A and B are shown apart, each in its own frame.
Chain A
Amino acid sequence: MSAEAHDTSASRRTKQAVAVLLMVVTVIGGVFGVIAERTSDQHVDATRAVEVTSVRMLDERSRAAGRISAEQQAENTAAEQRANVKALTRRDTGSLDLQVERRGALEAARGAEESSKLGPQHSVLRDTSAVAERFKQQERRGYRTAFEFANAYDKQKGQLSEKVDSLLAVTAVLAIGVFLIGLTLAVGTPSARKVLLGTGIALSLVVTVWGVIVASERIQDPSAPAIDAYVRGQELRRAAFAEISGGAERDPHARALMRTAIGHFNVAIRIRPNYGAAYASRAIAETVLGFTDPKGSHGSREARDDYQRAYDLGYERALMLNNLAVTELRLGDYPAAIKAARGAVALRPKLSNYIETLTSVLRYRSEQPTPAYRASLARLRAAWSRTSTQRRTQEMIRAIEETHEIEEQDPRLAAKARSYRADLRRIQEELAQ
């Protein structure tokens, strides 16, 4: 065989190989296209599910509001009639008319009590008792569940949409690979051909790997058991919190409720390890348990890890960072607390709550007020000056209360807490003028 014939044969083989490569890459692109199309169908289903659950959510919300309102009115009537009976009894001078009136009021009170689930001693709207809070939460269970489903379907919808977009991007880049490989057929210089072929193959390989990763991404349907466990945990957590806020800080019952809530969150997380809301709620429960520990208040490492996980999962990032900052402060890790607080302020630059957290951690970090603390304090003052008086007052009271709590809990921070409190009081006075 002559050299010329050999060259022609080699060139034919190269062309055949290029043609096969082109075919393979095109088929891969086609497969990704089909997967994208199927994912797009799933996306349509998820969109419909979001709409359906959103309507169910609205329905459940108004139903819960009606039930709570009916309970409130029954409680009001019962309390009202009981007060009437008491007043009439005090004035009872044996008059038959008044006795009839009193009996009528008594019957009215009993009728209302029969309609009320909690009785006249409660007011579901004004009470902070665990009983009232649990009642409200139970009445809202349908709504909370629908809300969680709507969020979960919405997330699924977003993930499906991302998957479709990524598969389309993969297909587009594969087309670039096809272009480069195909171009070798039109280029005469062997070295140039090698560059184009090599780049085309490398690009196609990389993109195929990217496509396989995207295509194998599993997007889960919402899990009913996980949502149920989460909603139950939330009910107990809020009930326990209501009890603790009502003054039962170290009460074993409230703490036991909080621990049961954590158990429910554990179940939710076991079923759905990427359930951001469950991590956040468990973190709050752990924080409260650490705070109300009968042996002495302390920060919670478990809470810190859970806030971090919730943040990583994209759940209410600014809030998670703010809570993380407070937890790190209680654990004594000031650089981490400042980093988290700065992150929260960066995400929500106008929210005075978060600026206050940052200012406090900056103050607790060093013995003497630093320029960074001074700057943050000035920013806090500016934010408060823009806030409505009532809310500002509430926030200032809470911030000042926190300095007292820190002073009591950690003697090492007592002097700094006093100094920070003095600064807060000065701002309070200045803004009151």
Chain B
Amino acid sequence: MPATRADRGPGPRPRLTIAILIAVTSVLAGFATWRSDVADRARSDALNAADVQTRQRQGVIEEIDADLNDSRITLVRVRVDDRRARALGAEARSGRLTGDTGRRARALTAGYTAMASVIRERIDPDVLAGGATPRAFKRARDLHIETALARADLDPTPEIKQAADHNRRADDLRELGVAALVAALVLTCAEVSRTGWYRLFLAVGILGVLVTTALMISVGFGA
């Protein structure tokens, strides 16, 4: 009696092999999903660390700016005192002033000079070293920020890069998990097929499993 169309499906042994392949592929998809979740958690941790650093960095920069603003205000006072001292000193030396007025001018000159010198010490030394010009303030600001960031390690760039890497791996693993499921689905078609087409399904399924596995290994399962 010639074989019917239904009989042309896979025999019992190939069916068992296909079932094993489906099981393995499904487990692989589950494993990829789990590892993708682990990578996601690592991404979340890296982003959290970057957020803390960004917050801290902002705080440090604002603190530096606030301190430099105080130096600016102090500098204004130093300049006012200096100018007054110079003007009064010039008047006192001009010889135009009478005895008492001249003595008063000299005393006031000494007072303003003392005032200027005592508060000059309260200006940021890095600003004074640069000549207390707007450029000196900028240089001092840059230096303070650079030093603070290096000392407290507040650059979030590496964490953000790390988070992007974890994200990419999580996405890749998730996609490969879906690809493994598609392969499992194709293998399922081979398993339940009652025609000679099962060979095609099986070949495509096996190819899918091999490619997916190879890609998963190349992506890596580490967090």
Which partner residue on chain B sits nearest A344 by CB separation? B153
Q: Which of B30, B33, B34, B73 contacts A73 (CB 8 A)?
A: B73
Which partner residue on chain A sits nearest B185 by CB separation? A179
Which partner residue on chain A sits nearest B51 by CB separation? A154
* Shortest distance between the CB of B220 and any CB in chain A (Å): 17
**Known: A91-B106, A155-B48, A353-B150. Is A80-B81 also a contact (CB below 8 A)?**
yes
A180 lies within 8 A of B150 (CB): no
Q: Which of A83, A161, A162, A189 contacts B19 (CB 8 A)?
A: A189
Which partner residue on chain B sits nearest A210 by CB separation? B34
A72 lies within 8 A of B70 (CB): yes
Considering the chains assembled together, what is the distance between the CA atoms of A64 and B126 in angstroms? 24
B71 lies within 8 A of A169 (CB): no
The 8 A CB mask of A316-338 against B (1 = contact, 0 = none) is 11110010000000000000000
A162 lies within 8 A of B41 (CB): yes
A186 lies within 8 A of B192 (CB): yes
Q: Which of A90, A92, A347 contacts B158 (CB 8 A)?
A: A347
Interface secondary structure of A, over-half rule: helix
A84 lies within 8 A of B114 (CB): yes
Considering the chains assembled together, what is the distance between the CA atoms of A232 and B174 in angstroms? 45
A166 lies within 8 A of B37 (CB): yes
The 8 A CB mask of A138-159 against B (1 = contact, 0 = none) is 0000010001001100110011
8 contacts between A and B (CB under 8 A): A84-B111, A88-B111, A98-B107, A101-B108, A169-B33, A192-B15, A319-B153, A391-B143
Q: Given contacts A151-B55, A210-B34, list 9 more A-B pairs with CB under 8 A.
A: A69-B66, A69-B73, A79-B122, A91-B110, A98-B104, A126-B124, A162-B44, A322-B153, A348-B153
- Residues of chain A whose beta carbon lies under 8 Å from any beta carbon of chain B: 54, 57, 61-62, 65, 68-69, 72-73, 75-76, 79-84, 86-88, 90-93, 95, 97-98, 101, 105, 123, 125-126, 143, 147, 150-151, 154-155, 158-159, 161-162, 165-166, 169, 172-173, 176-177, 179-180, 183, 186-189, 191-193, 195-196, 198-200, 203, 207, 210, 314, 316-319, 322, 347-348, 351-353, 388, 390-391, 394-395
